[in-house]
Structure 1
Amino acid sequence: QTRHTWRAELPALAAAGFRSCAPDQRGYSAGARPEGIDSYRTELLVADALAIADSFGAERFHVVGHDWGGALAWFIAAHHAERVYSLSVISRPHAAAFVAAMRDDPDQPHRSRHHPAFQKPEATDNLLADNAAPLRRAMAHGAVPDADIDAYLATLGERDALDAAVNWYRAIGSSQLQPAETPPVSVPTMFV
């Protein structure tokens, strides 16, 4: 996800006295877009986030995430609780809970059907077909605010950026940090 997601929240956090940062995650910025699926393994994404905190001199921090950023936030809090004051996640359950829902809830595989679709080698081509019509449809109808769709397409409409974004899905199986094995989180947590 990109920093654009948090453009309204950052000034409010600053006004409340918080020093905050909303980076483009690995792959979403041309300056941080390594090649290859293995470059998007979860442990590397966690290391990126910790390196950003380190660059701010933050030994401990509050972590907030949405969607994939939320998945990453759960991993950070679960595996590096000593670094995290609190965790807030929007729209993404704990990784082990998500795996359980995929296994036990007959509707969840349908709701998450994009996961296996994005893992396919042809995912990028499929999403960019017809002037990115499938990608636009995925963002329509409230999934992404209408005013933000063009900003997301400016990034994800680029083949390399979209390929990097779907590499997050593709790398799940090769990551050392497996969702089903994610330990419980011990820090104060809010899930929305």
Structure 2
Amino acid sequence: MAEAGQEISGEVLREVELKIDIRSATILVIPKSDEIQDKNMPRNLHNAAELFLRVGMVDAAENVKRNVADLLDIYSNDPDGKSNFHVGRGVVCWACGHCGIPKGGANQKGNNIKDDLDKITPGPCNKCGETEQVNWLKVTQPVDATNTKKEELPWIETPPLSEEEMKKKKEAQLLAKRKEVEEQVKRALEERERKNL
């Protein structure tokens, strides 16, 4: 039996424990017309993450986990509609595991919850550009305590940073790291000086 860290025919095995939020099961995968009868088709993002793990696509499962966590964080903070978010209908990409608003943004056909998804092709993936292996998502939330009625919610995500914003963020992170290292060096020097006295 292979152990984590062992190399087998050019691949390094790694032990993975990935906890997928059970609430990801409330985000439904909308099958295309030729997928409706497919019993292996994941019905929600929890199933999708499990499938990715089962076939060894760990990075894709981690993408699902991260994207769902980001969405649920936004909803848990009760978005006010005034903050800078992209709002629309999400897709799941079977090539990379990315879940989110497709390339083209919230103004693309299909991103309105009222659009008839049978007539609109999902995608392309906003991360890898995949156009074929993509399905629409439906974010749901129970309306009553019986959990029998559900309302559909839009996919909400923070827009990606511009190049300038990314540069500023990296500079701020470097500055914070520099301050942290300088503080550690200062404490170490003070400690050494105390020991020498």
TM-score normalized with structure 1 length: 0.32
Q: Which has the higher helix share?
A: 1
TM-score normalized with structure 2 length: 0.31
Greater RCO structure (CA 8 Å; 6+ sep) = 1
Q: Which has the higher strand share?
A: 2
Greater CA radius of gyration, 1 or 2?
A: 2
